Amino acid sequence: MHALIVVAHPDPASLTHAVAAQIAEGIAASNPQDSFEIADLAAEGFDPRFSQTDVALHLKEAAPPLDVAAEHARIDRADALVLVYPVYWWSFPGLLKGWIDRVFTQGWAYEEDADGTLVKKLHRLPIHLIGLGGASQRTYVRHGYSDAMKTQIDHGIFGYCGARVATSELLLASDAGFPSAHLDTARAIGSRVFASHTATEAEAIQV
């Protein structure tokens, strides 16, 4: 099994990157046969700007540009997609949102037929969302930010494409044991990335 871990933070020494590294270690430790790739969007210089070329792709008037096609290919190689990101203004940072805007395209992530029927194309892909925030859990709950993020991201993006959100976790600065506890949590998340797939395979063998 292979996981694609996408990181959206400009500082390689950030806690976001450290959490991503621990998720990768958890994947490797849980099964030596499993593999991972870390996609550092900032270091790779991914362009998040939605341009006229992207509009043409959406309208099915052009093929995917090379950078988008490359992202499609590495997601297609993955059995799980893990997004690790800082929470900016109660959502994805612009770099990650732009990656979603440009990569989760019509014809690849979903399809709208001529009659308006939606075809969801990412049913096979489990999603693991790990956001790192500075506000307290009480703030997220009191103002409804947690529910708003789940509606916008879990349901609005991935549910629209048919992808199942297996993990949706907020790691906050107010949590007990910050920041070391978050590294332990990240490693545990990594160890469970393929757990549901393994359970499904076991059930199929028993049947």
From first to last of its 207 residues, what are the pLDDT tens digits of the chain? 999 999 999 999 999 999 999 999 999 999 999 999 999 999 999 999 999 999 999 999 999 999 999 999 999 999 999 999 999 999 999 999 999 999 999 999 999 888 889 999 999 999 999 999 999 999 999 999 999 999 999 999 999 999 999 999 999 999 999 999 999 999 999 999 998 665 444 433 343
The domain segmentation of the chain, as residue ranges, is 2-205
How confident is the model over 37-71, as pLDDT tens digits? 999 999 999 999 999 999 999 999 999 999 999 99
Domain 2-205 classification at class level: alpha beta
Report the 3 state secondary structure along the chain: CEEEEEECCCCCCCHHHHHHHHHHHHHHHHCCCCEEEEEEHHHHCCCCCCCHHHHHHHCCCCCCCHHHHHHHHHHHCCCEEEEEEECECCECCHHHHHHHHHHCCECCCEEECCCCCEEECCCCCCEEEEEEECCCHHHHHHCCHHHHHHHHHHHHHHHHHCCCEEEEEEEECCCCCCCHHHHHHHHHHHHHCCHHHHHHHHHHHHC
